[in-house]
């Protein structure tokens, strides 16, 4: 069920990263294309990869479960350390993606309404 929304979200994050100041649009697209399947779930890393690329961060990696280390691939590039301000940056990216989606949806609805009046 999440196949299309997860990929659309990743692409919207890449577009917003290219449009908003303070983000790396090319990095978002590069990491999205390269690392979006670096997770056990086929949908989970789609938006995570775009966020990691947009911010120049490395996310995911090894994790401990019930005292056992599970080796997992990383998502993104380790260009800088994660900091508390990244939470606000990611919120800006998510909000921008929502606005971009609403704008695109409004265009689709306007075109559909125009087609119905022909």
Please give the model's pTM, rounded to 2 decimal places: 0.87
Domain count for the chain = 1
Print the domain residue range for 100: 3-117
**What digits encode the pLDDT tens for the residues 15-48?**
999 999 999 999 999 999 999 998 888 888 999 9
**What digits encode the pLDDT tens for the residues 80-102?**
999 999 999 999 999 999 999 99
Euclidean distance between CA atoms 42 and 47, whole angstroms:
11
DSSP character for 24? Answer: -
Which value, in Å, is the radius of gyration of the alpha carbons in the chain?
17
Q: Which sign does the torsion angle of CA 87, 52, 38, 104 carry?
A: positive
39: exposed, middle or buried (Cβ count in 10 Å: 0-12, 13-18, 19+): middle
């Amino acid at each position: 069920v999440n196949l299309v929304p997860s990929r659309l979200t990743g692409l919207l994050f890449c577009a917003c990263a290219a449009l908003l100041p303070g983000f790396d649009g090319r990095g978002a697209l590069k990491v999205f294309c390269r690392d979006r399947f670096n997770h056990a779930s086929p949908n989970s890393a789609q938006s995570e990869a775009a966020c990691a690329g947009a911010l120049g961060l490395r996310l995911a990696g090894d994790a401990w479960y019930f005292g056992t280390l599970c080796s997992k691939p990383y998502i993104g590039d380790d260009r800088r350390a994660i900091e508390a301000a990244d939470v606000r940056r990611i919120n800006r990216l998510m909000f921008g993606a929502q606005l971009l989606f609403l704008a695109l949806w409004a265009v689709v609805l306007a075109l559909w309404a125009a087609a119905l009046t022909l």
